[in-house]
Each structure stands twice: as structure tokens, then as C-alpha cells.
Structure 1
Amino acid sequence: MREWADYSIAEGEGGTRSLVLTGPLVVSSVGRIDTALRGTGERFSAIDISQAGEVDTVGAWLVWRLSRESGADIVGASDKAQRLIAAVHRNELEEEPEPEELPIPARLPERVGSFVIAYGQGVLSLLGFLGALILALGSVIRHPARFRWTALVRQVELVGVGALPIIGLMSFLVGIVIAQQGAVQLEQFGAEIYTINLTGRLSFRELGVLMTAIMVAGRSGSAFAAQLGTMKLTEEIDAMRTIGVSPMEALVVPRVLACTFMMILLGFYAAILSIIGGAVISMFSLEIPFFTFLSRIQEVVPAHDLWVGLIKGPVFGLIVAIAGCYQGMQVEGNSEAVGIRTTIAVVQAIFMVIVLDAFFAVFFTEVGWG
């Protein structure tokens, strides 16, 4: 039968009161004392543990805490108990003092400065990640036998093949919207036939690859961050380093290559489905035959529009993959960090894709591919 620790209060001369602890002061028996005396605010002149039995670290901490709260001296402690209480006292975790709040005029500069410093540290960390990725790619090129083809095929399946249904449906519906809304506006000028031009050029140059990149960022970029972040928390990545396997080569390189190459095919696939969607709605709203719409696309859409989409695709895929893998490798602390880093990965990827799309629009216009 378990023996519980107990306490009593002894009255002394001059109205002094002593707390007398009896029984074993160990983790399995001090719960009742802790519950009864915690936060009572009672004052004692001394805490007598001469009648206590075995004392472990938890019991020593309880005695030390009661002494600190009541301002009492500890008496009757054995040599072992004295050593444990002294160790607890040395390792007391004092609460960090809250920093003094700055006056209102100084808060904004202070926060801006903190943001700039954090941004600079993030840029340096990202550059370090890119450097490690380049070294890993170089190592794989020099030693092809080390490349993990199975991992690459698996990521191609997840990033590309698994995304075909949702990207196809999305692109088909976007094509319908472009054609329908374009026809409504062009009808005011009697130029409904130019709906074909609008749908074809927008699908190949912009919306096909852009909407695909956003979808891949939300689908695959988030998966990369969550997968690598979870592996980081469970110390699988540290274990890989311990046995001599490079996490960059085994985890990051296959994901980056798969996402980069599959974005070329997914962007083209999305553009084709978007045009088919435009042809379907035009067949009903504009009475343009389906195959006439498709043949007209070949005449009105210049070849460089196709090349513009094919050039954007791998760049967008690279951005999405790097954002997801980088944020996943930055996870530390607890599981909450996985969700935070996953959200950051998706936001960063979409933001950078839109910024680069704007840059490409200006660039191709300047080189005569507008």
C-alpha cells in the first residue's frame, strides 16, 4: 500500500508556527501536500523535515518552494536532502523580466528595425539554402549513382499526375469564364469573333501557367513544407545526417527537379484545357463550332505565346519547390511551427510567382514578344 506524505503545524513560543512534514517526500506521495499548501499564503517560522523519509528531487523542490513562499527556514534536513535542495535552488528558473515598453513615438521605428533585421537574417538563410542546393545538384551530377530516381518518380507522380484532375477542371472552368466574359464585352463592339484571340492568348501566355503555379503552390508547396517540417521535428533529418546521407540530395533535390519539370507539362496541359473550355462555351453562346474554334486558335495565336508559357513554367515550379523545401527545413520547436511554416511557404510562393509574372510580362514586351 502506498505511503503518503503528510504535514502538521506545530505551535511554538511567541506564537511562532512551524510546518512539520512527515512520510516520504517523493514524486508519488507529495501530491496531497502540494495541493493543500499551494498558494495559501500561510507564514511559517520553519519547515521541519526531520521526520520525513526518503527525499527525491520533486520533494526537495516542494520543500524549497514552500520555504520561499512562506519565508521559513528549512530545518532537520539530511545530507542528501540538503544537497537536493541546494541543487534545486541553483537551478531555479527565474521568469524573464518583461522588457520595458517603449514610448509610443519609439515603437514604430523599433518594430521597423526588428523587421529589417529579421528580413536580412532570412535573406542570408535563404542564400545559404540555395548554396546548399547548388552543391547538392553538383554532387549528384558528378556522382549520378547517388541520385535517387525512385524518389524523383514518386514526386513526379505526386506533383504532376496527382494534380491533373484538379488543374484540368480549374483550367476548363477558367477558359469558360474568359470566353463568356470576353464575349459579353466584345459584343458591344460587334467583335465577338475576337473572343478566340482573347481566350487563346490569355491561356497560353498568362492564365494557364499562372493559375497552375498557384494551384501547385497550394497543393505541392505546402506538402513539401509539411513533410520536411515533420521530418525535422521527429529528428529523421538529423538521423540521415548521422548515417552519412545528405538530406539535400535525398529529400530536396528530387522535389525541386520534379516540381520544375512537371510545371512545363502542367502549364501546357492547363492552357489546352482552358482553350477547350472556351470552345465549349463559345459553341453555345456564340454559335461558333467547336472544331472551328480550335482551328482558328492555330491561326490567331502566335508561336511565341506558347514559348512564353513554356519558359515561365519551370521558373514558377522552381520558385514553388524552393519556397516549400526551404520553409520545411526551417521548422523547429513544436508541431505548431509546421503549420506556420507551411502557411509561409504557400504565401511566399504565390507572391513570388505573381511578381515574376509581372516581370516576365514587361520583359517579353520589351523583346518583341508582347
Structure 2
Amino acid sequence: MHEAGTLPAENPAWPEDGPVDVEPQLQAGSAAEWRVSGDWTLLALRGRYEEFRLRIAEAVAARGDALWDLRELGRLDTAGALTLWQGWGQKPPARLLWLPEHVTLFAQFLQHAALPRRRPRLGPGLALLRARLLGFASHAVDLTALVGRLLLDFVHVLRHPSLIAWREISANVFRTGAQALPITALVGFLVGLTLSYLISRQLKTYGADIFVINILGLAVLRELGPLLAAIIVAGRSGSAMTAQIGVMRVTQELDALSVMGISHTVRLVAPKVVALAVSLPLVALWTSALMLLGGMAAANAQLKLDPVQFLHTLPNVVEPVNLWLGWVKSMLFGGLIALLASHFGLRVKPNTESLGQAVTQSVVTAITLVIVVDAIFAVLFSDVGL
């Protein structure tokens, strides 16, 4: 407390009873030693940062293997540590003596994340390509992990049949199979009608009317029937599966299953994969039948081709291997659609925007991969059944 009639000193750095800054010192202890003493703080170094930084840099340049002794430091804060660090060239000297309390201050500079780094900027096109590639790699890794867990759970379920979710499989067969029959019937009939009408017009020009049965039977049973059914089911049932699992993520039901020790793949993914692999071949057969029915109606109207002759000639011109090939592709399509739907559903974040994006990505990816796999089958089995 000041005496009456006297004024305190102007702008004291510390209270009268507090510590007083000691002049920071940098002295050469010997030919190969530098001693740092005094207070290296924000107030003690005020206005002299660049001076000390240059002195330290000159000392390092003159003798890079010199010993730096920090044990006589009075006080040291982040400003003083940063001055030393920058003078050292942003790396600790090869020979350094310091106190344990100094380690924490310099540790923040030893971490690469704490140092300012300039990342090379990519152009908009390269940045977008990089983001797409990283996203594709992330999906590929997660999908591979999901397939691995599914295979392991299949082995576990075979050893313990009581874990098979029969009711879930039955419900999925009904939703993806029976309830899809009306829409696939309508689309299949109209596509077959249109296709047969266009083919008949061309064949009639060359007097090859009878070959409409060969073209329709082979195209429908081998390619168009399974492909059309898979696309419809991917848009109808695949999106529903993704939305179902995604809503469970939003409402934290998936977390509840994990807490109870119930596997997501056993309870959710496996029943959908099995159900769709079973139901899609039947839906594809139904779609193919309706496409042939529409083609037969158009051939009768355009070419006056008798329906009885159409049905009698069809088994003779289309080998049974084409039907089996279509069934095998349909089973593969069904499992792939269910697997992708489950994959995108499990990746949904707990918000509605992520749910909508996942449903869209699920449908687009499933339809794209179905077409790609169908093209691969067409190339590999180009000499089978033709």
C-alpha cells in the first residue's frame, strides 16, 4: 500500500510484492556451449523477439553441434520457447540440457500438426476426382468388411440353426417377391409388346416372320427378363431395405441391437440377402413370361402368328441352358442388390439428410452394378446356348 500523498510508479510490470522480470541472457559458456538464463517470457522479450531469434540462429550457424544449457532459465513461457525454437531452425539442437518443466512447452512444437503447413492446392477437377476416389475406396473397404462378416455369420448360423431368422426371411420374400408381381407383370408385358412390335416390323420386310420367336425367346429368357426384374426390384425393394436400416440408425435401434449383443448381419443383412436371392429368380421368371406374352400378342397382331405355334416353337429354338443362365444371374443380382442396400443403410448417419442420400446412392449403385454384372455374364457366356 502506498503512503498518503505519493503516487504509484507508472505502468508497473508486476505488483510491488510480485516477481520482477530478469533480463533474458544468451551467453557462450565455452567454445562449444551456450547458456540461456534469465526470464524468457512475453514481457521480458517485449520488442526484442527478432533480436534474440537472429542471435540464436547465428549461434547455431557458427557451431551446429554446440551444447545448449537451459537449466539456468528463470521463467519460460510459450513466447520464449517459440523464440528459441525458431532460432534453432524449428528443430531441437543435437545436444540439449533442459528441465522437466520445459519439455511440455517445447512438445507442442515437436508435433507436426502444430506447425503451420501449406498443403498444395489442387484444381477443382482434381479435387473432385480425389474426393470421388477416396469415397469409392471407403465404400469398397466397408463393403468388403460387410461381406467378410456375412460369410463368418453364415458359418456360425449353420452350426447353430436356431439363430436363423425364418420369419424375417419369409417377410422379405413376401415383400420383395409377391408384392412385386403386379408392377413387374405390367412393365414386362408392355416391354415385350413394344419389343415384339419393332422386331416384327423389321422381319416382315425380309419375309423372316418366324424368327421373331427365336429373337424374343433368347433375348427375354437370357437377358431382358432377369435384367428388367432386377432393375425394378432394385428401385422398389432395394430402396426400402436401405430406408429400413437407415431409420433404425436414426432411431438408435442399431445401437440397441449392439448393446444386446445381437449381430446386425445375422438379424438384418443375412435374411435380406437370402430372401432376395430366392425371390428374384421367381420374379424374373414371372417377368419373362409376361414379356413373352406381350411379344406373342404383338406378333399375332402384326404378323398374324398363331399363339399356339408361338408356344410350340419356343422350346425348340431356345435351349434350356439359357433359362438356367438367367436364373443364376437372377440369384446373383438378388444377393448383390440386398447386400448393397444393407451396406448403404448401415452407413447412414443419424440425420434425415444422410438417409435420403443413402437411399439414392443405394438405388443408383445397385442398378449400375446389375448392368455391369450382366454385361460380364454376356461376355463370359457368349458361346453358351447360342
**Aligned position for 1:230:** 247
**Aligned position for 2:335:** 318
**Aligned position for 2:46:** none
Q: What SS does structure 1 have at the residue aligned with 2:224?
A: helix
Read off the aligned partner of 2:385 and give its amino acid letter.
Answer: W
- Give the CA deviation at 1:170: 1.1
**Aligned position for 1:115:** 132
**Aligned position for 1:247:** 264
**Match status 1:306 vs 2:317:** no
- Give the CA deviation at 1:130: 1.1
Summarize the alignment of residues 290-369 of structure 1 with structure 2, pairs less than 5 Å apart.
Answer: 290-366=307-383, 368-369=384-385
**Aligned position for 1:274:** 291
- Inter-partner Cα distance in structure 1 for 2:301 and 2:216: 16
Which blocks of at least 5 consecutive residues in structure 1 are unaligned?
Answer: 1-99
Q: What SS does structure 2 have at the residue aligned with 1:201?
A: helix
**Aligned position for 2:163:** 146
RMSD: 1.8
- Give the CA deviation at 1:101: 11
- Give the CA deviation at 1:102: 7.7
- Inter-partner Cα distance in structure 2 for 1:211 and 1:189: 29
1:150/1:190 CA distance change after superposition, 3 Å = same
**Greater mean deviation of Cα atoms: 174-183 or 210-219:** 174-183
**Aligned position for 2:304:** 287
Larger helix proportion of the pair: 1
Read off the aligned partner of 1:303 and give its amino acid letter.
Answer: P
**Aligned position for 1:15:** none
- Inter-partner Cα distance in structure 1 for 2:176 and 2:225: 17
After superposition, give the CA deviation of every residue in 1:29-62 in whole Å (9 maximum; x if it has no partner): xxxxxxxxxxxxxxxxxxxxxxxxxxxxxxxxxx
Structure 1 residue ranges, 4+ long, deviating more than 3 angstroms after superposition: 100-103
After superposition, give the CA deviation of every residue in 1:76-100 in whole Å (9 maximum; x if it has no partner): xxxxxxxxxxxxxxxxxxxxxxxx9
Read off the aligned partner of 2:364 and give its amino acid letter.
Answer: V
- Inter-partner Cα distance in structure 1 for 2:206 and 2:333: 37
**Match status 1:129 vs 2:146:** yes
Is the 8 Å Cα contact of residues 179 and 196 (structure 1) preserved in structure 2?
no
- Inter-partner Cα distance in structure 1 for 2:134 and 2:343: 19
- Inter-partner Cα distance in structure 2 for 1:122 and 1:157: 29
Which of 169, 181, 192 is 1:164 aligned to? Answer: 181
Q: What SS does structure 2 have at the residue aligned with 1:192?
A: coil
- Inter-partner Cα distance in structure 1 for 2:216 and 2:128: 46
- Inter-partner Cα distance in structure 2 for 1:185 and 1:145: 58
- Give the CA deviation at 1:113: 2.4
- Inter-partner Cα distance in structure 1 for 2:144 and 2:242: 18
Read off the aligned partner of 1:278 and give its amino acid letter.
Answer: G
Read off the aligned partner of 2:164 and give its amino acid letter.
Answer: F
**Match status 1:263 vs 2:273:** no
Read off the aligned partner of 2:267 and give its amino acid letter.
Answer: A
Q: What SS does structure 2 have at the residue aligned with 1:332?
A: coil
Summarize the alignment of residues 7-22 of structure 1 with structure 2, pairs less than 5 Å apart.
Answer: none
TM-score normalised by length of structure 1: 0.70
1:189/1:124 CA distance change after superposition, 3 Å = same
**Aligned position for 2:196:** 179
Query: Considering only CA atoms, is the larger Rg found in Structure 1 or Structure 2?
Result: 2
- Inter-partner Cα distance in structure 1 for 2:315 and 2:128: 55
> How many pairs align?
270
- Give the CA deviation at 1:361: 0.5
TM-score normalised by length of structure 2: 0.67
**Match status 1:205 vs 2:222:** yes
**Match status 1:106 vs 2:123:** yes
- Give the CA deviation at 1:115: 2.4
Q: What SS does structure 2 have at the residue aligned with 1:245?
A: coil
- Inter-partner Cα distance in structure 1 for 2:123 and 2:296: 60
After superposition, give the CA deviation of every residue in 1:166-207 in whole Å (9 maximum; x if it has no partner): 111111111111111100111121112111111111110111
After superposition, give the CA deviation of every residue in 1:213-241 in whole Å (9 maximum; x if it has no partner): 00000001000000000001100011011
Is the 8 Å Cα contact of residues 213 and 316 (structure 1) preserved in structure 2?
yes
Taking every aligned residue pair, what percent have the same amino acid on both sides?
35
Is the 8 Å Cα contact of residues 201 and 302 (structure 2) preserved in structure 1?
no
- Inter-partner Cα distance in structure 2 for 1:159 and 1:217: 10
- Inter-partner Cα distance in structure 1 for 2:364 and 2:239: 10
